[in-house]
Amino acid sequence: MYIPENYKSSLDLLHTEYAIKLVKDTFERRLAQHLSLTRVSAPLMVRQDSGLNDNLNGYERPITFTARDLEGEMEIIHSLAKWKRMALKNYGIRRFKGIYTDMNAIRRDESLDNLHSIYVDQWDWEKVVEREDRNIEFLKGTVDRIMKAIIDTEEAIRRNYPELDIIVKQPDVFYITSKELYEMYPDLTAKEREIKIVKEKKTVFIMQIGDVLPDGLPHDGRAPDYDDWQLNGDLLFWYDILNTAVEISSMGIRVDSKSLLYQLEKSNNMDRINLPFHKALLNNELPLTMGGGIGQSRLCMLLLNKAHVGEVQASVWPQDMIEICHRNNIELL
């Protein structure tokens, strides 16, 4: 855990709750407006044999359970990356329109710190594109529209809470691929490269994450069956309170049948081709889409100048972390 020197939140617990609601209400309206999205309901769990759960980096263990009136096992979702694509087909959504939802997940294998909780809350969004939209410029244009929604939300917070510091110090996003970043700092680790570039540029979108770099390692882990590794990325801000780069969103243009096969083979996951989701995708039965997740608690944390994600979400923490927070004016919800 990182403890900022002489930290004290500008907002007490009650005003923090007021401000959290303002952030969430404002941002989801602006996101829907800028990306032409409609809100839908989403599941907390999916069938284990559906292939719809997000496998994340491949080692995280989903929470599984059985139910009295259902056959087989269910899994608490890690994210809705694949479910949303099925939903777009079922709703009959057309080009440039899409959906968003409140995604609530439990990730039992997270390492808990200032930014990470086992409880994950995101705005998950997905929209339909056509083949000619599957390019880097279209991806960048979408990131710019998400930035407009974030800036709109920060302006609303500043009007109501002028005592809070501005977080989006650079509204113009600096775009760089993971390979270009590696070539700039080949002697640093991936995390160190992120921190160095984001500290300099303030607002950065690192593209093309998942495939291996010249050192034989990916910049970061990505499941092989939702983002196209050549058309995805992470949006990061520099955060002075924690003196580090903070990822707000992971997103991308999704795999088509060709990139799905390449990425499954590259990651040794060809056994997934027999799952219902993957069969539908390989048979071109699903629309071409792009989408992502935007951290609700992360965004609240930054815009409200908090030092710990537990100041903007109610979760479970180790006892020693609770005590450290209490001693350092970090009020966990």
Higher local confidence (pLDDT), 232 or 59: 232
pLDDT single digits (tens) 158-168: 999 999 998 88
Look at residues 124, 106, 103, 126 and name the one whose alpha carbon lies nearest to residue 116: 106
Q: How far apart are CA 114 and CA 118, in angstroms?
A: 12
Greatest mean pLDDT among 209-223, 272-286, 303-317: 303-317
Q: What is the 3-state secondary structure (H, E, C) of 227-287?
A: EEEEEEEEEEEEECCCCEEEEEEEEEEECCHHHHHHHHHHCCCHHHHHCHHHHHHHCCCCC
Whether 183 has a pLDDT exceeding 80, the answer reads yes
Whether 222 has a pLDDT exceeding 90, the answer reads no
Average pLDDT of every residue of the chain: 92
Q: How far apart are CA 270 and CA 16, in angstroms?
A: 47
pLDDT single digits (tens) 136-152: 999 999 999 999 999 99
Please give the pLDDT value at position 276: 86
DSSP structure string for 304-333: TT-SSGGGTS-----HHHHHHHHHTT----
Please give the pLDDT value at position 115: 95
3-state class of 152 per DSSP? helix
Q: Average of pLDDT values for 272-281?
A: 88
Residue 6 in tokens: 């002489």
pLDDT single digits (tens) 11-39: 999 999 999 999 999 999 999 999 999 99
Domains of the chain: 13-327 (3.30.930.10)
- Which residues are marked as active site? 54, 107, 122, 234, 247, 250
Higher local confidence (pLDDT), 274 or 228: 228
Q: How far apart are CA 82 and CA 53, in angstroms?
A: 7
